[in-house]
Amino acid sequence: MLRLYRGLLYLYPAAHRREFAQEMAFVFGQAERDAAARKFGPRLLFRIHEVAGLLCGAFLEHLRHAFDGSDCNLFRRIDMHPQFRFPRSTVFLMIFVLLGVVLAIDKADIMARNGVGLSLWGALWSMFLFLAFVCATVGVIWGVLYATGRSGMHRLANVQTWPERH
Amino acid sequence: MGLLPLSEPVLLVLLSLAEQPRHGYAILKDVAEMSGGRVVLSTGTLYGALQRLLRQGWIERFEEDESSRDRRAYRLTSKGRRNLQLEIDRMRHLTKLASLRAARKEA
């Protein structure tokens, strides 16, 4: 896992990596040693938490670089409009994506330990299967939404773009 | 002052360093302990916060004699301590106000 963590650190901008990557990997190693004594569930949660934190941190660092190193509002508390609500499906989608990432990391970890290399055709085939699965899932979800009249098309059709005449 | 008002994780990191200088892993453990396990920082979140605090000059990094590059420690600067005190004063004022308002409502 530590090797994979080091790999994921390459998602950070080079400047941040030079300054913190070695230290972050060291701290992660210590935290992982502590987590190793726990049961499977908490250990999995620890890994998910770490991967999510790292991806989020890398994303924010790239944004900071994009904003020319200035502290834009993204790095402070964000006050959202109280009317704004994420659709409930966002939570499931995020959990689904995160589980996929963690499983892929675990699989790659096992393969790295066993010294198994992945062939080009194998990688392409896996990618194709994954894309086919994603397309099928999206198709099914859209079909259900369309059938129940809650698709984007239906919602757009109900949007009132001009004031009603009385 | 770009970090004020502080988010809870950043406030806990500063409180951890207010007591004594600490290494990254010691900060993680102390934050979890202070919050009773409610706030558990990932290394990505911790180093994002540390970098911002370093850039604002609220904390500084130093290397102890025997420590390697992996184990650099962090401590509060006078600016960081001053700003932490400002935040504590703000929160004290807020809780006092909240208590007063809540008591008035009950009466």
Chain A hits for B90, CB-CB cut-off 8 Å, are none
Please give the residue that has the higher pLDDT: either B23 or A1: B23
Structural domain of A146: 119-160
ipTM over 0.90: no
Task: Give the tokens for residue A98.
Answer: 């995160």
Taking an 8 Å cut-off on Cβ atoms, the answer to whether A23 and B69 are in contact is: yes
Find the mean pLDDT for residues A10-34.
Answer: 88
Structural domain of B77: 8-106
pLDDT given for residue B82 in this prediction: 93
- pLDDT 10s per residue in chain B (107 long)? 566 678 888 999 999 999 999 999 999 999 999 988 888 899 999 999 999 999 999 999 987 765 566 678 999 999 999 999 999 999 999 999 998 888 876 66
Handedness of CA B95, B100, B105, B107 (dihedral sign): positive
What's B18's domain CATH number?
Answer: 1.10.10.10
**pTM of the model as a whole:** 0.61
Does A83 have pLDDT greater than 70?
Answer: no
Chain B hits for A67, CB-CB cut-off 8 Å, are none
Structural domain includes residue A97: yes
Instruction: Give chain A as a 3 state SS string.
Output: CHHHHHHHHHHCCHHHHHHHHHHHHHHHHHHHHHHCCCCHHHHHHHHHHHHHHHHHHHHHHHHHHHCCCCCCHHHCCCCCCCCCCCCHHHHHHHHHHHHHHHHHHHHHHHHHHHCCCCCHHHHHHHHHHHHHHHHHHHHHHHHHHHHCCCCHHHHHHCCCCCCCCC
